[in-house]
Amino acid sequence: MLGNISKLNLVRIGSDITYSSLKKIKSGILVAFRGIIREISLSHHDSPVVDSIDAQLLTMILDEEYGGHTLGITDADLKTQDEDEFYNSILGGKNPRNDVAVVSTKKLIPSTIRSDQEYERFIERTLKVSLHEVGHNFGLTDHASYKHAGDGSLCPMSRGEFNKFGYHGYIKIIIDGRGLTFCDECTDFLARVYGHTHTSKKLLKDTLVVSSN
Ligand SMILES: [Zn+2]
Ligand SMILES: [Zn+2]
């Protein structure tokens, strides 16, 4: 489905994330998908402030506005048509009918940010959910079991059960447990399909040391 895979539109909707943090998320995506994504253009999408938005509708709006491979990060809660209330609000999703994935910071952001460290953790969580959704855009599928990457962290495609932990526990155990590099299985898949090269930990570290403001 992906046309020009080497370019990603990274679109911010809302103001939870500063522009410099958006750049940090951009760096993290470039490192994790090194050799596949070569260019990420940053945009800010102006929209009325809403508390929640239908996830599918948002992907369609972004597809029309930006087109191509796109990741939208919104402050608003993302709603789905799921009848079960527990599942009708999501951290992120991808529309299989276009190349647009969306991530919501609503449940990732602490109610009050008391320190830089807390803010940094929030940005890292947003990056990890973003890697997962962009991974889906490239055809990667969820790991139902806990799959680890080379550095011992969970692969970004790991997915535990929401109902087992509740959202709060899920974020602490699964999202925080994820690393910033894909496991061998995902890396091999990407290499086979797109010619992805392995990322070195050194590079990851160097690229991600960016201070926030
Ligand atoms: Zn998934
Ligand atoms: Zn994996």
What number is the average pLDDT over the span 127-156?
93
Decide if pLDDT at 199 tops 60: no
> In angstroms, what is the span from residue 155 Cα to ligand 1's centroid?
12
Contacts of 113 (CB under 8 A, 6+ apart): 119, 122
β-partners of residue 93 are 102
Over residues 151-180, the pLDDT tens digits come to: 999 999 998 777 777 788 888 889 999 999
pLDDT at position 213 is: 38
Decide if pLDDT at 209 tops 80: no
CA gap 155, 143 in Å, rounded: 8
CA gap 157, 143 in Å, rounded: 6
> In angstroms, what is the span from residue 118 Cα to ligand 1's centroid?
25
- CATH number of the domain located at residue range(s) 7-201 in this protein: 3.40.390.10
The pLDDT-based confidence of 85 (bands split at 50, 70, 90) is: low
> In angstroms, what is the span from residue 50 Cα to ligand 2's centroid?
34
The pLDDT-based confidence of 15 (bands split at 50, 70, 90) is: confident
β-partners of residue 78 are 53, 90
> In angstroms, what is the span from residue 54 Cα to ligand 2's centroid?
28
Displacement of CA 117 from its chain's centroid (Å): 20
Tokens of 164: 């087992």
The pLDDT-based confidence of 184 (bands split at 50, 70, 90) is: very high
> In angstroms, what is the span from residue 213 Cα to ligand 1's centroid?
31
What number is the average pLDDT over the span 42-65?
92
Q: What is the pTM of this model?
A: 0.87
What number is the average pLDDT over the span 193-200?
63
What number is the average pLDDT over the span 182-190?
95
Residue pair 143/111 in contact by the 8 Å Cβ criterion: no
pLDDT at position 130 is: 97
> In angstroms, what is the span from residue 183 Cα to ligand 1's centroid?
15
Contacts of 82 (CB under 8 A, 6+ apart): 88
How much is the mean pLDDT over the chain?
Answer: 87
Tokens of 183: 């496991």
Residue pair 95/31 in contact by the 8 Å Cβ criterion: no
Which ligand neighbours the alpha carbon of 128 most closely?
1
What are the domain boundaries of the chain?
A: 7-201
What number is the average pLDDT over the span 98-114?
93
Q: Where are the alpha helices (DSSP H) in the chain?
A: 19-32, 55-65, 116-137, 162-170, 184-194, 201-208
